[in-house]
Amino acid sequence: MAELFVTNFNRNFTGVSATAANVIRQQINQFDLHLVGQSVPGCPDPITVAQARTLSRQPPQGKPFAIWHVRRNTEMRAALWARDVLRLPVRIVFTSAAQRRHSAFPRWLISRMDAVIATTDTAATFVPHVKAVVPHGVDTDLFYPAENRASTWDKLGHGGSHGIATIGRIRPEKGTDLFVEAMIRLLPDLPGATALVIGKAAREHQGFLKDLQQRIAAAGLSDRILFPGEIPAGNLPAVLKGLSLVMQLPRYEGFGMTPLEGMACGVPFVGSEAGYYRAFSAQGKSGLIVPLEDAAQAAEAALSILMDSDKHEAMSTAAREIALHNFSAKREADGIAAVYDLLWSGA
């Protein structure tokens, strides 16, 4: 019988899906694991919830119960049904990244978990039953530096000699407008740079997107601030390897993987005071942090990196080293495994 069931119920490949996939690719070498729900790149083919329940009827060999590792409300509900209604021998582990108070129903669900893993110290203050703080990690075998950044960028076909990008859903919370404002300020001083807004806008944010495109056109930069849309997860490493800078300016972020994925590719970043960005930056070694809502300072920070080749090279080298040694998916998987062991040992 399987000892670990990792759920992924969202059909869309979200940030939660990406962080789960990073860990699963490590865990398949550690555990008898089943992915439950929807597929994610590089992971085992998923089984259904019904199949997971069937496989959970008997404890795995040598262990008192199987573990269901969940990350979303719907997944917590399914696991609670298996444990509390069907009375299956399972225990539930929930990963929480939110750096704000959950609403009432999620709070109740989380209170029923057997163990909670918080991704940051701040996130840990908003949830009960925290067994460990384990930051998310990046798959450093999948995300790694290009041998030649310039040629890698050229192959992407976006024009210019180097690229800057923000990645994520196009909406106010993600600060897409702040990125656009920063690029309108920055690009006149960087004639070779092209900026990419990578992601899609939901139906309710189409007006927001149209307004951004109008602002860009008014600045005469429609050929240099591009909207390539959402990029399939499997293509993202190739894009990041070609970039010279990642810029993420969200107004709120639970954790934020994009700077970390860029760092693993040897790409420094500029980020707002959100998520876990300050920890990634290592006091300015791999990235620069600016205040929330400050597009002007973000543009200045980007310019200070991109106009100084020695500084850019040093930050690129540090970014890869920090990702490799401090924020790898293997490190995250090991931290999670320690929580599983606590549960299995009865601690």
Q: What is the mean pLDDT of residues 38-43?
A: 92
pLDDT recorded at residue 89: 97
How confident is residue 347, by pLDDT bands cut at 50, 70 and 90?
Answer: low
Identify whether 143 is part of a domain.
no
**Total domains in the fold of the chain:** 2
Identify whether 200 is part of a domain.
yes
Range of the domain at 316: 149-326
Q: How long, in residues, is the chain?
A: 347
| Mean pLDDT (the chain, rounded) | 95
Tell me which of 35-39, 223-227, 229-233, 284-288 is least confident.
229-233
Q: What is the mean pLDDT of residues 12-41?
A: 92
- 192 and 118: one domain? no
Identify whether 142 is part of a domain.
no
pLDDT in tens, 137-160: 999 999 999 999 999 999 999 999
Identify whether 34 is part of a domain.
yes
Identify whether 313 is part of a domain.
yes
| pLDDT of 17 over the 80 cut | yes
How confident is residue 178, by pLDDT bands cut at 50, 70 and 90?
Answer: very high
Identify whether 47 is part of a domain.
yes
The whole-model pTM stands at 0.88
Phi and psi dihedrals of 183, rounded to 5?
-70, -35
- 339 and 238: one domain? no
Identify whether 21 is part of a domain.
yes
Pairing of strands 287-290, 115-118: unpaired
